[in-house]
Structure 1
């Protein structure tokens, strides 16, 4: 018997120029300028990410029963090029909700990345055929296909609130999320932070890195 699958309206895609700027920013920069809490901790790259690569795009959100991928299949049918599939699977890693065939299909749909708060499988196929994949774990056990689920809805991704259309950034350190309404602000701050860190690297190389702040922050106690 069919199960309900509420589908909320799609969010307008962000300007491509904004997404291009995000691809030049590490997740650590975004986290630092956004209160150090933008990260969906525990979701790490498991396949397809090239060293040094940053992926970015608007979230296509999916809420599914843990270990079930019926609505994940439907999300792939609805995906628009450049989106990042964000699957809220409750963080359970005993059963995969996505594998090689779905990863290959995601490539044909033009998805920028796949983010699963749960498990995936077929890592070799994902590495060869899918967009970069981030997940909480890997399991060879396959999914149920019974539902229920919900598409383009607010979800919790490893403890971080994500709305459909929020900006998702992923690299070797994991996943960062930027609320759509603050994207321009956070991107500009992260770009400033990147420039400041580049200046610090030059100072380290020149032997002129200012370390005075450390002693200023410590009360040194001399012991006998």
Structure 2
């Protein structure tokens, strides 16, 4: 299920910090994927549906180089990824086995995958960077995935960075990391996000003017009235 371009455009204008605030107001505290940091600076803010991948601990009879040719493999999963998706890989926080390297990342680029997010690490760092695929991860490691992980499937619920991620949930990722928007709350979040950004931008201008924080952030009734007057004048 592809995302409407208008939804993508709206969420590309909203920081992940703002999204966590909106989701917190709705009772969701655990939406930020821990350990997933940009592999390089300057990666764009991206929005896409989650395409999930799941690893479990390595088991010697399953986690072998021969498994890369299995029907249940990372290679097969990549061929199932739709254009525009964000691949989200549950690597259990393992940091001594790289789940993807340059060849796999290059194929993801060819398929139009928007980004890779994992609570694990990648390998072939220079090659991965050269593919141009935006990646958020915990770092890099030389050993392959089978040195510490067994790949077991895709498009099923996973736990990535301590967050429950279901296929087709929406991911927004920027320099502050990746935030999950549950599919069921997408319309509400999209509707509220621009106003939250506008309100916080106005508060920042008030801080620039030397206004004290009490009564400003959060707003008291007087500040709300001033903000409304400012909006009405726009």
Q: Which residue of 2 aligns with 1:106?
A: 108
Q: Which residue of 1 aligns with 2:180?
A: 177
How many residues were matched structurally? 201
Residue 117 of structure 2 is aligned to residue 115 of structure 1: yes
TM-score, normalised to structure 1, is: 0.82
| Offset, 1:80 | 0.9
Other-structure match for 1:50: 42
**TM-aligned CA distance change 1:95 to 1:84, over 3 Å:** same
Q: 2:51 aligns with which of 57, 60, 68?
A: 60
> Hey, what does 2:74 align to over in structure 1?
72
**CA contact under 8 A between 1:25 and 1:190: conserved in structure 2?**
yes
Structure 1 spans left out of the alignment, 5+ residues: 1-11, 217-224
TM-score by length of 2: 0.78
Distance 1:206 1:84, change over 3 A: same
Q: Is the 8 A contact 1:30 1:176 kept in 2?
A: yes
SS state at 1:134 partner? strand
Instruction: Tell me whether 1:157 sits opposite 2:148 in the alignment.
Output: no
Matches within 5 A, 1:1-224: 12-35=1-24, 36-47=29-40, 50=42, 53-66=44-57, 70=68, 71-144=73-146, 147-207=150-210, 209-213=211-215
Deviation at 1:42, TM superposition (A): 1.5
Q: Distance in 1 between matches of 2:77 and 2:172?
A: 19
Range that drifts further, 69-78 or 12-21: 69-78
Q: Distance in 2 between matches of 1:188 and 1:126?
A: 36
RMSD between superposed Cα atoms in Å: 2.3
Please tell me whether the aligned partners of residues 74 and 151 of structure 2 are also in contact (alpha carbons under 8 angstroms). no
